[in-house]
């Protein structure tokens, strides 16, 4: 089923603490609003926010560029929008992974039209080899190779999100 564990639970925990400490330093006094992009980012967002040492707000968006395919369609579908108004706020978009970059490119542009004070991106995983759109990622956990990864929020057809670590899914699973 899995080729190997790519990032262990312990490594994840250490990295999330580091990113959280950096954001806490950078956003001191700014009361940022974190936007958790569902569903993949829910585990990372929850862990990240738990380690913050500054006050912050939380909102959610449910978007998709994929449908049931494994290739990004490039078109952003908003399934559930934010509950709050981000005008004048310092926004941090939290993603589990940036792949083609389509989702974050379109999302950042969309949120910028709502007049926030700033918009930055925090992604736990980055697959730079797959990038189709230039997107500046301000906080990143790990750059990873172009493998199909699951766990820590990442799914294959909605399975494996609940694994505590990040694993490489065997080709035999998704190429059958």
Residues lying near ligand PRP in the complex (CB under 6 A) are found at 37-40, 64-66, 72, 95-103, 155
Annotation says 129 is catalytic: no
Assign 83 to helix, strand or coil. coil
- Using Cβ positions, the residue closest to ligand PRP within the complex turns out to be 40
- Beta carbon nearer to ligand PRP, 33 or 37: 37
Smallest distance, ligand PRP to C-beta of residue 65, A: 4
- 122 neighbors 94 (Cβ within 8 angstroms): yes
Relative orientation angle of helices 9-26 and 42-50, to the nearest 10 degrees: 60
- Beta carbon nearer to ligand PRP, 24 or 128: 128
Smallest distance, ligand PRP to C-beta of residue 98, A: 5
Question: What are the structure tokens assigned to 163, written together?
Answer: 């694994």
Smallest distance, ligand PRP to C-beta of residue 42, A: 9
Which residue's structure tokens are 């974190």? 34
| Residues in CB range of 84: below 8 A, 6 or more apart | 33, 57, 59
Question: What are the structure tokens assigned to 160, written together?
Answer: 């494996």
Smallest distance, ligand PRP to C-beta of residue 100, A: 3
- Provide the sign of the torsion angle of the four alpha carbons 44, 21, 54, 140, taken in this order: negative
Residues paired with residue 169 on neighbouring β-strands, in sequence order: 2
Q: Which of 26, 59, 96, 99 is catalytic?
A: 99
- Beta carbon nearer to ligand PRP, 24 or 108: 108
Active site residues: 99
């Amino acid at each position: 089923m899995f080729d190997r564990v790519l990032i262990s639970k312990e490594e994840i925990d250490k990295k999330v603490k580091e990113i959280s400490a950096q954001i806490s330093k950078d956003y001191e006094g700014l009361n940022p609003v974190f936007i958790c992009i569902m569903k993949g980012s829910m585990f990372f967002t929850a862990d990240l926010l738990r380690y913050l040492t500054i006050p912050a707000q939380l909102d959610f968006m449910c978007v998709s560029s994929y449908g049931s395919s494994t290739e990004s369609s490039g078109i952003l579908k908003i399934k559930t929008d934010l509950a709050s108004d981000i005008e004048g706020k310092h926004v941090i978009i939290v993603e589990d992974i940036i792949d083609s970059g389509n989702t974050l490119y379109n999302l950042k542009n969309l949120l910028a039209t709502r007049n926030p004070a700033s918009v930055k991106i925090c992604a736990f995983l980055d697959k730079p080899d797959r990038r189709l759109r230039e997107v500046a990622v301000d906080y990143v956990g790990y750059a990873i190779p172009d493998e199909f990864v699951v766990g820590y929020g990442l799914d294959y057809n909605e399975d494996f999100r609940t694994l505590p670590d990040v694993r490489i899914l065997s080709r035999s699973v998704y190429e059958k």
